Amino acid sequence: MNDTATHAASASAPHVGRYRWRVCAMLLAATTINYVDRQVLGVLAPFLQTEIGWNEIEYGYIVTSFQAAYAIGLLCTGAIIDRFGTRIGYAIAISVWSIAAMAHSLAGSVVGFAAARFALGLGEAGNFPAAIKTVAEWFPRRERALAVGVFNAGSNVGAVLAPLLVPIIAATWGWQAAFLFTGVLSAAWLAGWLLTYRTPDQQPKLTQAELDYIRSDPPEPTVKVPWLQLLRHRQAWAFVAAKFITDPVWWLFLFWLGKFLASEYKLSLSTIGLPMIVVYLMADVGSIAGGWLAGRFMRLGWDVNRARKGAMLACALCVAPIVLVTQVDNLWVAVTLIGLAMAGHQGWSANVFTLPSDMFPRHAVASVVGIGGFAGAVGGMLMSMFTGAQLESTGSYARIFVIAGSAYLLALVIVHLLVPKLQPAALERAPAA
């Protein structure tokens, strides 16, 4: 699919213009800032814990507050963005998370950080619904996969930039400056968005040829499908289960990786950046490779079911060796195991996010993705509380990484049991009004 989209983009762009890719670049920037903002705490956590004095359970509460808000936000922001449109809806989301990011600099207690993280989670939940809706507005169907892939790369770019920039800023101007800096980045993006973004029909810089190209798809029917109707189908539960079981591992890496490396390998604020950068670069490679692998299997003649699950199995096997990470003494062996696991997760995620479109019609995909995202965030909350309690009582990551390493194989078994052939769900159309 990506090969086809790339060919279509390169073939059409000289004739119709490229303004839509400027819009995609703004989405890439927003997603990058989104992940920088959420990663600041993960980078600084080992050092803030000493300065402010929270314990492992309290840090778990701080992380859980973000995830709870993120889950709530995933249920609510879609309606807000649909109500006000992408220009204003995206602006509302990034305004909330910009203010929340800067509010961390004023937090001096567990309650203060939890409140700031909750507000950050509410705002950041709007990024992906807004970005995906923007892509739908600006790109014909044959280019949407490529456009989503481009802006979604910002998640790993942001995760790389955070450990690169945050330690330098914190060491030079104090930890409060790191939160202020990322908040200012968000505010700068917001100003650019409000000044330049318009829908294609209202954008004066867009040529008529490019507008016609964007509108070249036949109109899609839109049929509202109630959530309760979706949840009657095993296909929806397969996606929900995959997200609930495996998303918590990604949350674990996001918020505890810095603490793990600092505690196990005695890294300082000045030395923790490089290992984290390597890990997220490996994750970036995994994100691309996981999607490519499923496409490669299909080009070899495999059907969608076999190709999708084959790619998911390969990614799950990349995560499994993480169970050994607490047994190694060498930092870079540990970084390799963690990086391989995170690459496996990103490749897994690329395929899991495709499951709804494999099994549901387009008008139901967004709802299924929203339900699954909510389930993943709830799973992340449970994992955060468990991790905090486990570290506070034992000080050991061993059991935590055993759970992480086995989660993907368990999820794949459940997906296969629920949808052995990835058969499409038979949805009833809503009755005419």
What is the structure's pLDDT at 309? Answer: 94
Task: Locate 271 and state its tokens.
Answer: 């030395």
Of 16-20, 64-68, 217-221, the range with the highest mean pLDDT is: 64-68
Q: What percent of the chain has pLDDT over 90?
A: 33
Residues 287 and 330 in one domain: yes
Which CATH number do you get for residue 91?
Answer: 1.20.1250.20
Residues 48 and 92 in one domain: yes
Alpha carbons 255 and 257: distance in angstroms, whole number: 6
Closest C-alpha to 369, from 352, 385, 347: 352
Residue 220, domain member (yes or no): no
What is the structure's pLDDT at 13? Answer: 44
pLDDT at 284 over 60: yes
- pLDDT tier for residue 165 given thresholds of 50, 70 and 90: confident
For range 372-389, the mean pLDDT: 88
- pLDDT tier for residue 409 given thresholds of 50, 70 and 90: very high
What is the structure's pLDDT at 119? Answer: 93
What is the structure's pLDDT at 25? Answer: 92
Amino acid, single-letter form, for residue 219: P
What is the structure's pLDDT at 4? Answer: 39
Query: Could you read off the pLDDT of 109-120 as tens digits, one per residue?
Result: 888 889 999 999
Residues 336 and 411 in one domain: yes
Residues 167 and 241 in one domain: no
For range 114-135, the mean pLDDT: 86
The mean predicted confidence, pLDDT, of the chain is: 84
What is the structure's pLDDT at 1? Answer: 38
For range 165-193, the mean pLDDT: 89
20-24, 63-67, 132-136, 202-206: which range is least confident on average? 132-136
pTM tops 0.85: no
Residues 201 and 345 in one domain: no
pLDDT at 433 over 60: no
In this structure, how many other beta carbons lie within 10 angstroms of the beta carbon of residue 6?
Answer: 14
Residue 1, domain member (yes or no): no
Kind plus residue range of the DSSP H or E element containing 105: none
What is the structure's pLDDT at 313? Answer: 97
Specify whether the CB–CB gap between 381 and 249 falls below 8 A.
Answer: no
Residues 240 and 363 in one domain: yes
Q: What's the structural domain count of the chain?
A: 2
pLDDT at 412 over 90: yes
Specify whether the CB–CB gap between 390 and 400 falls below 8 A.
Answer: yes
Residues 195 and 143 in one domain: yes
174-178, 224-228, 302-306, 330-334: which range is least confident on average? 224-228
pLDDT at 12 over 60: no
- pLDDT tier for residue 108 given thresholds of 50, 70 and 90: confident
What backbone phi and psi angles, to 5 degrees, belong to 270? -85, -15
Residue 5, domain member (yes or no): no
Residue 286, domain member (yes or no): yes
Residue 315, domain member (yes or no): yes
Residues 205 and 263 in one domain: no
For range 192-219, the mean pLDDT: 84
Residues 256 and 396 in one domain: yes
- pLDDT tier for residue 403 given thresholds of 50, 70 and 90: very high
Query: Could you read off the pLDDT of 231-281 as tens digits, one per residue?
Result: 889 999 999 999 999 999 998 998 888 889 988 898 887 788 889 889 988
109: DSSP letter: S
Specify whether the CB–CB gap between 202 and 23 falls below 8 A.
Answer: no
Residues 114 and 191 in one domain: yes
What is the structure's pLDDT at 424? Answer: 85
Provide the residue range defining the domain that includes 289.
227-422
Cβ burial of 264 (10 Å; 0-12, 13-18, 19+) is: middle
Domain boundary among 211, 246, 280: 211
- pLDDT tier for residue 223 given thresholds of 50, 70 and 90: low
Residues 269 and 195 in one domain: no
Alpha carbons 325 and 337: distance in angstroms, whole number: 6
What is the structure's pLDDT at 219? Answer: 63
DSSP 120-135: HHHHHTTHHHHHHHHH
- pLDDT tier for residue 5 given thresholds of 50, 70 and 90: very low
Task: Compute CA 74 distance to the chain's CA centroid, rounded to the nearest angstrom.
Answer: 12
Residues 172 and 30 in one domain: yes
